[in-house]
Amino acid sequence: MENNLFDKLCSYENLELAYKKARKRKTLKRYVIEFEKNLKQNLLDLRNELIFHTYKPKPLETFIVHDPKTRKISKSHFRDRVVHHALCNIIEPTFEKYFIFDSYANRIGKGTHKAIERFDYFKRKVSKNNSRNCFILKADIRHYFETVNHRILLSIVKKKIPEERVLWLVKLTLSNHKAKENEKGMPLGNLTSQFFANVYLNELDNFIKHKLRAKYYIRYVDDFVILDSSRKILEEYKSKINEFLSANLDLELHSDKSNIFKLDNGAGFLGFRIFYFHKLVRKQNIRKFERKFEKFNKLYKKGIVSREKVVESFESWLAHISHADTYKYRRYLIKVFNQCFPLDKNTKIANTKKYENFVKKVKISRQPFSSQKTLFLFKKELRIKEIAEKRNIKESTVWWHFAKLIEYNQLSIWEVLSKENISKILYNINSLNDKLRDIKERLNDSSITFNEINCVLTHLKNKTKGKATPKEVNEIILRFVGK
């Protein structure tokens, strides 16, 4: 273990990087502008305070939010946020190596949507492609952030970071919070709280994965799920997890929010309700968005907010709900949006890129609903012939739907065709302008149809945005084939 982590933490380069991270999406805030006026001196002052142990964080600013339940959020002073980023920059890489794969909160490349994808994967595994019962233990830790024990957390950190000067800063950061009990609790809203929440519960992750040997476990902050085909096994897990939390982490499961149930009734997880064959957005979240949308509408009519600001929020919501089966709902929302916020010649557009992305989403949402029906049946693992018979359409129409879905990134070519056939077709494409007949002749394989060739060519055009030269196409093909 390195002994100079604190020196790296206090380096001007690290503090400057921490400042850049802390100001992200806040460059117009008054406190950021004030700090930036004398940036170099402010960072040097921070550096000296850290080196000589004279640094003291300023009191937290707290406020209450109802989103939907009441929470007390704490806001650190900007210079303290710089220190938080500086600390995480140095110690996070050390702990990241010990985190399990299926911890999805506050980590690069993770997040709620990745956790939902993983849930879908586990659901299919446990239920043997949705053909058997799947039970879920969905659990929540009671008052987690309020009850984190500082002494236990420091002992966990010390195992990986034994350097006393770093531990001094960790302890100082944790102590800058008034809780109901001494040496307990972390403020909601701090970067360090998010990070230490993962460090603390990594002990639970390792217990569940390595001691209980639970295969299908996912955690997001203090919410976690375990999937299994046996209710009895999950009941044993629940009992042992509660014992471990009490004995080792001074925590307990929330009795009302920790239950075992069948997937038939749907599993509420991270804002979605997940069933065997489909996902829905929680009604509570929809109502929350509709209240926000109505507020934007009133402010827009008064000229207080711009259309671009509304588009930014609206696009974020569309991206979120696209992870559920919300095709009709999205079409309805876009129709209402265009009525409430019409685009006219006088509308100023500062960020054209955002508008291009928004227009693309609108275009995708206008796909014929028939394609979505085909996709739904395909996800239920029906074959092309079965889909055609069930929907009373031709097989060629099903293939046309596949091509449109591939074009709009709603279906992967690797789900439709075998790797072998995809490779064969790709090797015989010379340019994006090739005709299907020419590719078919070069293939000289009667088992591969024009529909399959069309899907692969559509996939290639989509990935290259239709603007690649023959040489670039060849390079891209070689990369794809290597998958």
User: Which range (107-116, 175-184, 186-195) has the least confidence?
Assistant: 175-184
Task: Give residue 118's pLDDT.
Answer: 94
Per-residue pLDDT band at 75 (split at 50, 70, 90):
confident
- Model confidence at 343, pLDDT cuts 50, 70, 90, reads low
How large is the C-alpha radius of gyration of the chain? 27
Tokens of 243: 């014992």
- Mean residue pLDDT across the chain: 85
Contacts of 90 (CB under 8 A, 6+ apart): 5, 8, 9, 14, 166
Cα separation, 247 vs 454, in Å, equals: 60
348 pLDDT higher than 60: no
- CA proximity to 229, closest of 319, 328, 128: 128
Banded pLDDT at 339 (limits 50, 70, 90): confident
What is the tens place of the pLDDT at every residue in 272-312? 999 988 899 999 999 999 999 999 989 888 888 887 788 88
pLDDT tier, 251 (very low <50, low <70, confident <90, very high otherwise): very high
The predicted structure's pLDDT at residue 441: 87
Q: For residues 223 and 236, is the Cβ–Cβ distance under 8 A?
A: no
pLDDT at 1: 44
* Res. 340: pLDDT tops 60: yes
Q: What is the pLDDT of residue 406?
A: 83
pLDDT, mean of residues 306-319:
83
Residues 37/26, Cβ–Cβ less than 8 Å: no
Out of 80-94, 171-185, 317-331, the most confident range is 80-94
Residue 346 has pLDDT above 80, yes or no: no
The average pLDDT across 379-408 equals 85
Residue 47 tokens, joined = 């550096």
Q: What is the mean pLDDT of residues 334-356?
A: 65
Helix axes 395-407, 450-464, angle to 10 degrees: 10
Task: Give me the amino acid identity at 58.
Answer: K
Higher confidence at residue 135 or residue 343? 135
What's the gap between Cα 361 and its chain centre? 19
Tens-digit pLDDT profile for residues 353-384: 555 565 555 555 444 556 777 887 887 788 88
Instruction: List beta partners, residue 139.
Output: 224
The pLDDT value recorded for residue 350 is: 53
Q: Is the pLDDT of residue 152 over 60?
A: yes
- Shortest CA distance to 460 belongs to which of 440, 437, 479, 441? 479
| Burial tier of 287 (Cβ tally within 10 Å: 0-12, 13-18, 19+) | exposed
Instruction: Report phi then psi at 23, rounded to 5.
Output: -85, -5
- 406 or 280: which carries more pLDDT confidence? 280
- pLDDT of 478: 64
Distance between CA atoms of residues 326 and 321, nearest Å: 7
Over the stretch 253-267, which tens digit does the pLDDT of each residue have? 998 889 999 998 889
Q: Which is more confidently placed, 464 or 249? A: 249
Mean pLDDT of 175-192: 84
* Amino acid 426: pLDDT: 84
Q: What is the per-residue pLDDT for 464? A: 72
CA distance 198 to 220: 9
Query: What percentage of the chain reaches a pLDDT higher than 70?
Result: 88
Measured CA to CA, the distance from residue 53 to residue 47 in angstroms comes to 10
> From start to end of 263-373, where are the E strands?
267-269, 272-274, 279-281
Task: Round to whole Å and give the CA distance between 443 and 438.
Answer: 9
> Would you state the structure tokens that stand for residue 26, as one six-digit string?
């806040």
At 148, phi and psi to the nearest 5?
A: -60, 125
**For residue 347, what pLDDT is reported?**
53
| pLDDT 10s digits, 1-47 | 456 889 999 999 999 999 999 998 888 888 889 999 999 999 999 99
What value does the mean pLDDT take over residues 314-343?
A: 84
Tell which wins on pLDDT, 465 or 319: 319
**Whether pLDDT at 447 is above 50:** yes
Q: What are residue 127's phi and psi, to 5 degrees?
A: -90, 5
pTM above 0.75, yes or no: no
